[in-house]
Structure 1
Amino acid sequence: MPQAIHFISIGGSAMHNLALALQQQGYIITGSDDEIYEPSRTRLAQHGLLPAEMGWFPAAIHAGLDAVIVGMHARKDNPELIEAQVLGLPIYSYPEYIYRQSQQKQRVVIAGSHGKTTITAMILHVLKYHNRTFDYLVGAQIDGFETMAKLSLNAPVIIIEGDEYGSSPIDTQPKFLHYQPHIALISGIAWDHVNIYPTWDQYVHQFELLAEGMPKAGILIFDETDDMLDIIGQKERADITKVPYEAHPNEIVDGKTYLLTKQKSRIPVLLFGEHNMKNIAGAMTVLDRIGITDTQFYEAIPTFKGAAGRLEKVASAGNRILFRDFAHAPSKVEATTEAVKRQYPGRKLLAAVELHTFSSLNRAFLDQYKGCLDAADEAIVYFDAHTFAVKRLEPITPDDVIAAFDRPKLRVFTDTRELQAYLVEQHNAADVFLLMSSGSFGGLELNVLAEKLVTGL
């Protein structure tokens, strides 16, 4: 008899992918949520898992369930969660459940404030290219993979993108602490979750716990150019192997990036930027530990297109290019802007960033953005003034933003239509356009914008 599992908050990115992965393994899956957005809504509907009605229904929780998986979107007083507790059903956060299903596998966890999705996606691409059997959990859609999660009985290894957010409404510890990795990579530490970790020290401590909690004979891989990681990597623990890495040697020729190998070969790659050269080195280091040689890596990496929304080329024609990127934290915005300018040094770069997250809209955190758009020839910041009421934050003004970014000629928009109109006006004034946000700039019409910016029509 197949196991029956109910998902509370099935519409979440990780949650709905785990639901689809378990359904593919033959589990009986049900779920609920009070709001489900795209692409989760369509994907759940295609597999018959979209709830017939939005909301929470205690009657959906019954003694016949083998497990209940609860997502962070739910609250402690969720009526379905309370009913599951009353019935004494096994209740898991999704990281707890993934660990439960992978105790007999080699667990590889990719963590860090930035780069973890790209590094995870790169590892998955190379393993798939060489027909390896593996399970995975990754935080974005990847070309060639139907879902963002896979769990099976026969895979000897699981590659997990592990983040530092809380696990569930009844378990606030970071997700990555549940996985107990045999191999852990930490790509870098940059404080950008002020709503969860109010101080830098609290934030860094979570990564210290990850490193300290690894099983004996574990392998800790870290970016040695990151000052904080170097400190963590040097902490004494004789039963852990510590492996530092730095950016892969590379060169840019006519706007194209090549990896330079020890054998003096040049390997073309679709990624670019110093941060991605570090991501490549980190992925190579992990793959070396699970049986992929450098030669095999170089064979597979030229076809890696990156994860969805990560420095993704939306459109191009002639010298004009439009990129979008998930960057929103100061360190990510700075790294992405510098990468694009370094790749196209002779072209005028217009970079726009949306202040969208709790941290980025927090007046106390805003100064962290100082200088992060300096590499751009023209810089734009957008934020939705209505968001402050929703997030219960003290409002900020365009003048606050200009002062925080320390860029007097910075243009600040709070209206999506005005932003779109201005960007279209700039189609002849810039060659490379970069849009950075974890949101959508208030519903910017990206397809229309791409056509007008790149073609000038």
Structure 2
Amino acid sequence: MNIHFIAIGGSAMHNLALALHYKGYKITGSDDVIFEPSKSRLSAQGLCPDTFGWFPEKITTDLDAVILGMHAKPDNPELAKAKELGVKIYSYPEFIYEQSKFKTRVVIGGSHGKTTITSMILHVLHYHDIDVDYMVGAQLEGFDTMVKLTEDNDFIVLEGDEYLSSPIDRRPKFHLYRPNIALLSGIAWDHINVFPTFENYVEQFKIFTDSIVEGGSITYNEEDKVVAEVVEASENQIRKIPYQTPAFTVEDGVTYLETPEGAMPIEVFGRHNLNNLAGAKWICQHMGVDEDDFYEAIASFKGASKRLDKLAEKNNSVIYKDFAHAPSKVNATLTAVREQFPTRKVIACLELHTYSSLNATFLKEYQNTLDNTDVAVVFFSPEAVKIKQLDTVTAAQIEEAFNRKDLIVFTSPEEFKAYLFNLNLENTALLLMSSGNYGGLDFEEVKTLVK
């Protein structure tokens, strides 16, 4: 097939382009800007556009399909040309479904935990040399790409994102996959720019549950009240399998999972990660991996990329970076670090970086999320607020929203960096939570803080 990507440089898009290239498809693409590592990875396979920009002449009737990325705008000139010529246009999830409609589709959904659970499942399958197709939202150790598509594999494991499918398709991605086997990890309001009310957001997960094929199954986190209500109220003719956090202990900074064979040390930690592990175990069992084999494999799982990444550790000092930005994720990540290091001082630095987190109305959702830390720091860029065309957010509003009088708020990258590099990290766990980089912070340099 001859496929053209509009906005080929995105994290998901470039991985799909690489996967189809490896499958033998002819791939072309365009974008107005491509950052690393996408640029180098595309260039290595001869797929990076020679010139950045949009070129309608690239769209011809020789194309079998165009795949439209979220980064493109609805009035994109290449998209207009594809419509004019009648070339088949797919969103990313539509094309994934098209490639997997004759496979058993395993879809992992939820506001939080879905990347980690998907990563755990793929780690276990890879450990036991079980080959499956997949699409996951993080780069995994031992995997060349975040997407794999074949003609032969029976299963495909998909991370089910609830965000929009494309600039011209406002349906959440996970509505399009029609799972045979599904998991729902948690529901906590996010993406306020798309789902303006909590009720509207929850409705998307009801639609997801009802989209599971008849006779399929959903494994769900019964400890999440909203998840339990959504799944148990569904009249879809599917099996409903609840899971909960397994028993575990923490000793000297090591987490031990209780198994039928006794306590087993694992690399990941935190109650939310153990909860994720329980869900992953059920899904692996649905895919033919027995319990003993699951435990053997999961012991070596070190975590999904950008999720509690250990930047540096020495003696009694440790630094973690985590992708957490939504309120539920911030709370879960901070609780995990506190439980893992109960005798250490915990310093938590959160960057408000996303549209939702910088929205003055949504800020109240962060109330008390930083309570479980000795020192709480929030960084945000007033410039980012302007770029996102949001109402002005003040330090006073943030202090009130988090409901913490000793909250330290920075708006200057230079002042935040100076604060960070003057910290004494003796007997301390430093947690940096952001989907950004605090206005240009060099994380390699941050590693030197541990002496």
Give TM-score, length-normalised by structure 1.
Answer: 0.97
Unaligned runs of at least 5 residues, structure 1: none
Q: In structure 1, what is the equivalent of residue 246 of structure 2?
A: 248
Question: Which of the residues 316, 319, 324 maps onto 1:319?
Answer: 316
- The one-letter amino acid paired with 2:402 is F
Q: In the TM superposition, what whole-angstrom CA distance separates every residue of 1:96-142 from its partner, at most 9, and x where no partner exists?
A: 00110111110000010000000000000000111112000000111
Q: In the TM superposition, what whole-angstrom CA distance separates every residue of 1:361-419 from its partner, at most 9, and x where no partner exists?
A: 00001011111011111010000110111100011111111111011111111111111
Give the superposition deviation at 1:430. 5.8
Question: Which of the residues 286, 295, 298 maps onto 1:298?
Answer: 295
Q: Give the conservation status (yes or no) of the 8 Å contact 2:344–2:429.
A: yes
- Distance of 2:231 and 2:171 partners within structure 1: 22
Q: Give the conservation status (yes or no) of the 8 Å contact 1:420–1:449.
A: no
Q: In structure 1, what is the equivalent of residue 219 of structure 2?
A: 221
- Asked if 1:282 corresponds to 2:279, the answer is yes
- The one-letter amino acid paired with 1:64 is D
Q: In structure 2, what is the equivalent of residue 159 of structure 1?
A: 157
Classify the secondary structure of the residue corresponding to 2:423. helix
- Distance of 2:141 and 2:357 partners within structure 1: 30
Which runs of structure 2 are paired with 1:32-181 in the superposition (5 Å)? 32-181=30-179
- Distance of 1:303 and 1:74 partners within structure 2: 39
- Asked if 1:431 corresponds to 2:428, the answer is yes
Q: Give the conservation status (yes or no) of the 8 Å contact 2:206–2:234.
A: no
- The one-letter amino acid paired with 1:311 is L
**Aligned in 2, Cα 1:380/1:429: closer, same or farther, shift over 3 Å?**
farther
Q: In structure 2, what is the equivalent of residue 366 of structure 1?
A: 363
Question: Which of the residues 438, 441, 447 maps onto 1:450?
Answer: 447
Give TM-score, length-normalised by structure 2.
Answer: 0.99
Q: In the TM superposition, what whole-angstrom CA distance separates every residue of 1:407-455 from its partner, at most 9, and x where no partner exists?
A: 111111111111111011113466110000111111111111211x211
Unaligned runs of at least 5 residues, structure 2: none
Q: Give the conservation status (yes or no) of the 8 Å contact 2:317–2:426.
A: no
- The one-letter amino acid paired with 1:48 is G
Give the superposition deviation at 1:51. 0.8
- Distance of 1:40 and 1:248 partners within structure 2: 38
Q: In the TM superposition, what whole-angstrom CA distance separates every residue of 1:226-264 from its partner, at most 9, and x where no partner exists?
A: 01111112125362000000012111111100110134x
- Distance of 1:309 and 1:334 partners within structure 2: 16
Classify the secondary structure of the residue corresponding to 1:427. coil
- Distance of 2:117 and 2:425 partners within structure 1: 36
Classify the secondary structure of the residue corresponding to 1:419. helix
- The one-letter amino acid paired with 2:35 is Y
- Distance of 2:350 and 2:328 partners within structure 1: 12
- The one-letter amino acid paired with 2:441 is L
- Distance of 1:57 and 1:267 partners within structure 2: 56
Q: Give the conservation status (yes or no) of the 8 Å contact 2:316–2:427.
A: no
Q: Give the conservation status (yes or no) of the 8 Å contact 2:162–2:173.
A: yes
Which runs of structure 2 are paired with 1:403-442 in the superposition (5 Å)? 403-428=400-425, 431-442=428-439
Classify the secondary structure of the residue corresponding to 1:321. strand
Q: In structure 1, what is the equivalent of residue 17 of structure 2?
A: 19
Q: Give the conservation status (yes or no) of the 8 Å contact 1:107–1:179.
A: yes
* Structure 1 segments of 4+ aligned residues over 4 angstroms from their partners: none
- Distance of 2:186 and 2:236 partners within structure 1: 23
Q: Give the conservation status (yes or no) of the 8 Å contact 2:425–2:450.
A: no
Q: Give the conservation status (yes or no) of the 8 Å contact 2:137–2:146.
A: yes
Q: Give the conservation status (yes or no) of the 8 Å contact 2:181–2:216.
A: yes
Task: Report the aligned-residue RMSD.
Answer: 1.0
Q: In structure 1, what is the equivalent of residue 258 of structure 2?
A: 260
- Distance of 1:42 and 1:395 partners within structure 2: 37
Q: Give the conservation status (yes or no) of the 8 Å contact 1:219–1:243.
A: yes
- Distance of 1:430 and 1:252 partners within structure 2: 17
- Distance of 1:236 and 1:40 partners within structure 2: 40
Give the superposition deviation at 1:306. 1.1
Farther-moved stretch of structure 1 (422-431 vs 248-257) = 422-431
Q: Give the conservation status (yes or no) of the 8 Å contact 1:416–1:442.
A: yes
Identity of aligned residues (%): 51
Q: Give the conservation status (yes or no) of the 8 Å contact 1:427–1:454.
A: no
